[in-house]
Each structure stands twice: as structure tokens, then as C-alpha cells.
Amino acid sequence: MILGDSGFSTKKETGDFSQLCGIIESIFHFTFHRDLEELKDAYFPINPDIKKNAEPSDETIRNSNLKLESTMQKILNDANFNIISQEEIDSAFNRNALVNFSVKIDFDDYDYAHVYARGRRKESFTLKRLFGLKKSEHEHEILERVVLLARLKDTEEEKGITFIKMFKDVPLEDLEILFPNSKVLMSLKDKLMIAIPAIAGGVPLMVTKVVPAVIVAFVIISAYLGIKGTVEENQLKQAIAVFSALGALGGFLFKQWSKYKTKKFLFQKELSDNLYFRNMVNNAGVFYSLIDSAEEEECKETFLAYYFLYTAENALTEKELDDRIEKWFEEKHSCILDFECDDALSKLRDLKLLEETAEGRYSIKKIGESLSILDQKWDNFFIY
């Protein structure tokens, strides 16, 4: 993207910049590899996917969680993920976007549950209402990448269970479906759709068959017990009718219960389908995706800051650099973004490629000198 721009005056400059980017990429790759190993080591004692010979101690679990949380927050920040506030989560839980059911989550089951997201877009969906007879367009906010970090409270059976999950293209209003231990609930509308037909069919059945049958049953039982009257042949026939009526009532109740269970099963299937198609990777596998994303984001920010400082005629302030990069994205790629200029300058400073003035202006070392500095840094990673 940058190499195709017209900022370089010669092919040599273009080639040198490409080589510089390669060395920077290698340096970041080496640095993030150490972070990856730290994440794996921290997560091992509390990874639910690994069977352990002995249960980790409470202190080991506590230290693992502290190390995991702090390192994850650093990597998520480097990968440009932002935490979703509890207020935004609570607001999302009160609405539904694409799923047709509600989900109950008991946050008392968790020690903590953090949701991080990167990339948001608006998208319109056509939803069917009133038994599919009415269609309406709704616009929803889509979270392009979502990471869930959740630790369940310890129980007698399990201790230190911590889940890490990554999802894609999740509607903000459907965040609740991502949480472990979520339970599908039927809305009042769904309950009424089962209850109203049940009442409409059950009341006539009770009035015309069950109530008269119960009265007859009472008379027959009283006669057999010698409390009142005698049992005649026609009453025996009525007794058979009693059992038929009760059988009809039992069949009716079973039918309504089956409808209820089928509806819940369909909701559970919809929940499973949503998770299946949105889930990208789980637990330790998330580390590799996050490290790759963080490395890529850090490299892109560094390349952009270096290039625009290198091609500027004079030293730039942080705001001037930020404005140039954001304007370039808008004009060249029709993309509006908030470039983290302070973070990019910090990385160039750490690489010792940045030159600063007392007035707060920045410039960059020439490519040849920059290559020498980076080459020396790479050579000094291991000293024997």
C-alpha cells in the first residue's frame, strides 16, 4: 500500500524502505514471540483443555490469572481491541438483533467476564415479524472481532476454569449469546403463543368432558364405598368414558408440553448455529490469532509513521503527522480512521529512529542510517 505511493524519488529508496520494513517486522515478531510464550505459560495451569496430573494450588491459580489478565490486556491493546463497558453490555442485553430469543446469564457464576472488540460497522437486516407476514428493515451495529475473557468461580468439582474465545461479526445487541453457561429463555410472546391455543382448546375439553367425567367418577366411587346409591350398568359405561376423558386430557397436556420443548429446542439450535458460524478460535488458540493481529497492527502503525515523516519536507508536530495519515487514508482508500499517532511515535522512539526537537516537532533518520541502527539492534538480541 505504501510502496505503491509516489513518495519515493528513486527505486533504491523504495527497495531500502522495503528492506527496513522487513527488519522492523522481524524485530516485532521476535518481541511478540516472547509475549506468546508468557501467555502460554500463564494459561497452562487454568487451561480447561489440558488434563493435569495434579490440581494446581490456589496460589498458582491466582498468580496464573493475574499474569494472564495483564499480558492479555497488553496484547489486546497492541492489536487495537477496546474493552466493551459494562454499561454497554447491560444495554445490549435488553435488546435482540438477529436471534429470536432471550438469554439469561448469571454473572454471579463469574469472578470476571471481560469483552473486547475491534472494528465496528453498521449493517441492515430484513427481519420477519407476525409469523413471517411482515418484513422490516433494521440497522444494527456489528462488532467485527470480539474476544471474551471469562473466569468461572471455583466449585468443589472444578477450580480455576478460565475461558478465552474469539468471534467474528457479532451484532452488539446479541453479545449475551457468547457467554458460557448462558440459558435460553422464552419471551412472553412465545409463551403466549403456546398458552393461548392451550387455553382455547383446554377449556372446552374441561367443560364438555373432564368435569362431567369427574362428577360421574365421584358418584361411582361413592356407590362402591357404600356412601350413596348403587352402581348400575350405565354408570359403568360412564366410568369407561371417565377414563377416556382423562386420557384425552393427558394427551392434550402432553401435546402442549411437546410444543414447549420443541420451541426451546429450536431456540437452542439457533443459539448453537450462531455460535458455530461466529466462533473463530478458543482458549490457547486465541493467543496465536491475537499475537498475529498485534504484530500486524504494530508494524503498520510504525511503517506509516516512518513513511510520512520521511517524505515530509520539514519536521512535523504529532497533530500534523496524525492529520496527514488520516487524510491519506480518506483520499486514497476512502477509509475514515483514528490513527494512534502517539503509539506510532513511541515505537519509532524505542527503535531509536525518531528525532525530536524541543518545540515538539518530529523527523526521521534517513533510511541508510535507520537500516544500520535496526541491524545492530537485531544482532544484539542474543549476545554470547
Q: Which three cell numbers stand for residue 238?
A: 360412564
Could you give the angle at the alpha carbon of 94 between the alpha carbons of 88 and 98, nearest 5°?
A: 95
- Write out the three cell numbers for 367: 533510511
Better-scored residue on pLDDT, 17 or 257:
17
Report the alpha-carbon distance of residue 240 to residue 369 in Å, rounded: 103
The pLDDT of residue 208 is 56
Start-to-end C-alpha separation, the chain: 39
340 within 8 A of 304, measured Cβ to Cβ: no
pLDDT digits (tens, 9 = 90+) for 258-286: 666 666 666 666 666 777 788 999 999 99
Quick: pLDDT tens for 34-48: 999 999 999 998 888
Contacts of 224 (CB under 8 A, 6+ apart): 231
Identify the DSSP state of 254.
Answer: H
Residue % of the chain over a pLDDT of 90? 36
Model pLDDT, residue 346:
94
Length of the chain measured in residues: 384
How far is the C-alpha of 39 from the C-alpha of 176, rounded, in Å?
Answer: 26
User: Has residue 22 got a pLDDT over 60?
Assistant: yes
Residue 286 φ then ψ, to 5°: -65, -30
**Count of CB atoms within 10 A of residue 206's CB?**
16
CA 297: distance to chain centroid? 20
How far, in Å, CA of 127 to CA of 129, rounded? Answer: 7
Question: What would the grid cell of residue 84 be?
Answer: 466493551
Query: What's the pLDDT score for residue 51?
Result: 80
Give me the sign of the Cα torsion angle 212, 214, 217, 219.
negative
Task: Quick: pLDDT tens for 219-241.
Answer: 556 655 555 554 455 555 555 55
Q: What is the dihedral of CA 167, 169, 175, 177, to 10 degrees?
A: -60
Query: Nine-digit cell at 369?
Result: 542510517
Per-residue pLDDT tens digits for 154-187: 777 777 688 899 999 988 888 877 887 777 665 5
Shortest CA distance to 78 belongs to which of 361, 336, 293, 328?
Answer: 293
Mean pLDDT within 193-198: 58
User: pLDDT per residue over 205-215, tens digit each?
Assistant: 555 555 555 55
CA geometry: angle at 65 spanning 36 and 40, to 5°?
Answer: 20
pLDDT in tens, 41-88: 999 988 888 887 778 888 888 899 899 999 999 999 999 999 998 888
Distance of CA 157 to the CA centre of its chain: 27
Q: With 90 as the cut, is the pLDDT of residue 130 above it?
A: no
Mean pLDDT of 348-373: 93
